[in-house]
Structure 1
Amino acid sequence: MDPEHRALLRAHRLDLSGQLLVSDTIVPFLYQEDILTETQVEDIESQPTNTQKSLKLLDILPSRGPRAFDAFLRSLDEFSWVRDKLLLELRTRPGPSSTDVRRLPDSVLQKVPSDRELSRLASRLGAEWEPVLMDLGLSPEALFRCRSDHVLSTHGAVLAGLVQWRRSEGKKATAQRLLQSLTAAGVHPSVLEDVLM
Structure 2
Amino acid sequence: MERAHRAVLRKLRVEMSDQLLVSDTIVPFLYQEDILTDAQVEEIENQVTNRQKTLKLLEILPTRGPRAFRTFLRALQDFSWVRDRLLLELQAAPGPAEDCWIPDSDLQRIPTDRELSRLASRLGTEWEVVLMDLGLSAEAVFRCRSDHTLSTHSAVLAGLVQWRRAEGKKATLDWLQRSLQGAGVHPSVLQDALA
Name the TM-score class by shorter chain. Answer: over 0.9
Q: 1:64 to 1:101 in 2, by over 3 A?
A: same
Report the alpha carbon displacement of residue 116 of structure 1 after superposing the two structures with TM.
0.4
- Cα RMSD for the two superposed structures: 1.0
Which sections of structure 1, spanning at least 5 residues, go unmatched?
Answer: none
Match for 1:13: what amino acid? R
Q: Is the 8 A contact 1:122 1:158 kept in 2?
A: yes
Partner of 2:18: 18
Deviation at 1:139, TM superposition (A): 1.0
Contact conserved, 2:30 with 2:36, CA < 8 A, in 1?
yes
Change in Cα spacing, 1:95 to 1:66, as seen in structure 2 (3 Å) is farther
State the match for 2:152 in structure 1.
154
Answering whether residue 158 of structure 2 is matched by residue 164 of structure 1, we say no
Per the alignment, residue 42 of structure 1 pairs with 42
Q: Which amino acid is the alignment partner of residue 123 of structure 1? A: S
What corresponds to 1:27 in structure 2? 27
Aligned partner of 1:176 among 174, 177, 184: 174
Structure 2 segments unaligned to the other structure (5+ residues): none
Structure 1 counterpart SS, 2:25: helix
Report which stretch shifted further, 33-42 or 74-83. Answer: 33-42
Displacement after TM superposition at 1:61 (Å): 0.9
Amino acid in the other structure paired with 2:94? G
TM-score if structure 1 supplies the norm length? 0.96
Letter in 1 for 2:128: E
Percent sequence identity is 70
Structure 1 residues 140-176: Cα deviation after superposition (integer angstroms, max 9, x where no partner): 1111111111111010111011111111011111111
| Segments ≥4 residues shifted beyond 2 Å | none
Aligned length: 195
Which whole-Å deviations, capped at 9, do the CAs of 1:94-126 have from their partners, x for residues lacking one? 4331x2013211111111110000000000011
Q: Which residue of 2 aligns with 1:101?
A: 99
Name 2:7's counterpart in structure 1. Answer: 7
1:72 is displaced (CA, Å) by 0.7
